[in-house]
Amino acid sequence: MLNAPRRSHILVIDDDRKLSAALVAGMEAEGYQVTSASSAEEGFFLLHSERPDLLLLDLTLPQRNGLDLLRQIRKDRVDVRVLMLTSHNSVDNRVEGLNAGADDYLGKPFSFPELLARIQALLRRSLPEPTSDTVQIADLCINTRTRTAARSGRPIELSPKEFDLLLYLAENGGRTVSREMLARDVWKEQSRFTPLDNVMDVQIGRLRKKVDDPFSIKLLHTVRGVGFSLREPEA
C-alpha cells in the first residue's frame, strides 16, 4: 500500500458514477479523505465549502463541462491542485486543459497505480527547504510560507504547479535547470518515458507571461537545447 497522508482531502467530479465510486473506494483505502460529485454545480459547491487539497476533474460533465468549471476555479483564485481525468487525450486537449489551469492531465483509461503516483506527486512537498520564508531574484520576491510571489511589489497570481515551478527555478537561481531536473523534482517523474516537454513548455509559457511580460527586464530565460534559468540581469 502506498503511504498517503491521511489529512489530504481529494474531491472527485465525474458523472460516471461507477468509476467515481471505484476511485473513492480505492483512494480511501490508501488513506485519503475523498468526496465526490457528479455535476459541475455540485462540485463547485463542495469545492468552496470543503476546500479540498486536490481536485480530480472529468472534462465531460452534464450541462457545464470541466474546462468551464476549471476556468471559474482559477478566476476565483481557489488554491487547489487540479488533475484532469478524461478520454479526450490528444495533445491539443492536454494543452487546452493546462492553459485553462490544470496542474496535470491523465487520459482515460488509466491505471490506478499511475493515478496514485500522480496524486502523490501533486500533493508532495519535497522541494528543497529554504533557509528563510523568502527567496528573492532581483525584484522578484517569493514567500515560501504563504506560497505567494510578487515582483516590484506587484502580486503575481500563480496556480500551485506554477508556484512550485517558479520556486524551484528561484532556488536554483543563476543555474540552468534541465528538463530532466524539472521532470524529476517538480513533476516527480522518475523517468522520461512519459513525454512532458509539451507540458513543461506550456507551464513555462504561462509563468513567463506572469513573471516577465509586464516588465521590461526579463528574468526567465530559455537556454536552447539545455533547459531554463531564472536569473538576475547582468550588470
**For 124-139, what is the mean pLDDT?**
67
Write the DSSP assignment of 124-179 as a string of letters. ---SPPPSSSEEEETTEEEETTTTEEEETTEEE---HHHHHHHHHHHHTTTSPEEH
Average pLDDT, the chain: 83
pLDDT exceeds 60 at position 1? no
Domain span including residue 159 = 134-230
Do 193 and 105 fall into the same domain?
A: no
pLDDT band with cut points at 50, 70 and 90 for residue 155: very high
Question: Lowest-pLDDT range, 24-28, 107-111, 128-132, 144-148?
Answer: 128-132
Point out the domain boundary residue: 123, 153, 185.
Answer: 123
Do 81 and 25 fall into the same domain?
A: yes
- Biggest CA–CA distance in the chain, Å, is 61
Do 59 and 153 fall into the same domain?
A: no
User: According to the per-residue pLDDT averaged within each range, which of 94-103, 132-141, 147-156 is highest?
Assistant: 147-156
Question: What pLDDT, on a 0 to 100 scale, did the predictor assign at position 127?
Answer: 39
Length of the chain: 235
Encode pLDDT of 177-206 as tens digits: 888 888 878 887 755 555 678 888 999 999
**Does residue 162 form part of some domain?**
yes
Amino acid (1-letter code) at residue 216:
S
Point out the domain boundary residue: 65, 89, 123.
Answer: 123
Question: What pLDDT, on a 0 to 100 scale, did the predictor assign at position 128?
Answer: 44
**For 204-219, what is the mean pLDDT?**
94
Contact (Cβ atoms closer than 8 angstroms) between residue 182 and residue 199? no
Count structural domains, the chain: 2
Contact (Cβ atoms closer than 8 angstroms) between residue 37 and residue 23? no
145 Cβ neighbours under 8 A, 6+ residues apart: 133
Query: Higher-confidence residue: 36 or 130?
Result: 36
Tell me the CATH number at 196: 1.10.10.10
pLDDT exceeds 80 at position 215? yes
DSSP, res 63 = S
pLDDT exceeds 80 at position 124? no
**Does residue 3 form part of some domain?**
no
